[in-house]
Amino acid sequence: MTGVVYDAGALIAGERNDRDFWIDHRVRLESDTLPVVPAPVLAQVSRSAQQVQLRRLLRGCEVINLTEQAAHAAGRLLGRARVSDVVDAVVAETAAARSADVVTSDRTDIQRLLGAAESSVQIIDV
């Protein structure tokens, strides 16, 4: 199984205890696929210490920092795609750089960014 990057929609599905999402997440973990969550995605979703399901989900993910290099790459991608959502750009750039699929509820914007990145990674709807 290829790697995956979780967008905000994936984290929200986990927080809402979406059964189908949790089944897919478990399958990934059992096949030694550790989902990646860019730190800006976590910032977009995290609202309180009471988000127990979010904390549980993150124990089975790798949260990665946004480096200066990755920030510049995401900014260039925003310019090429002519969009303004920084978090979506970070997700798309991370996925393209890692050749990892994206799990998202925002197919349209992610697809546009991946197209601008000339990436052929898959989008998995949640």
Parallel, antiparallel or unpaired: strands 36-38 and 62-64: parallel
The residue length of the chain stands at 126
The CATH architecture that domain 4-125 belongs to is 3-Layer(aba) Sandwich (3.40)
Give pLDDT tens digits for 57-110: 999 999 999 999 999 999 999 999 999 999 999 999 999 999 999 999 999 999
Q: Where are the domains of the chain?
A: 4-125
Give pLDDT tens digits for 8-49: 999 999 999 999 999 999 999 999 999 999 999 999 999 999
pLDDT exceeds 90 at position 2: no
SS3 state at 66? coil
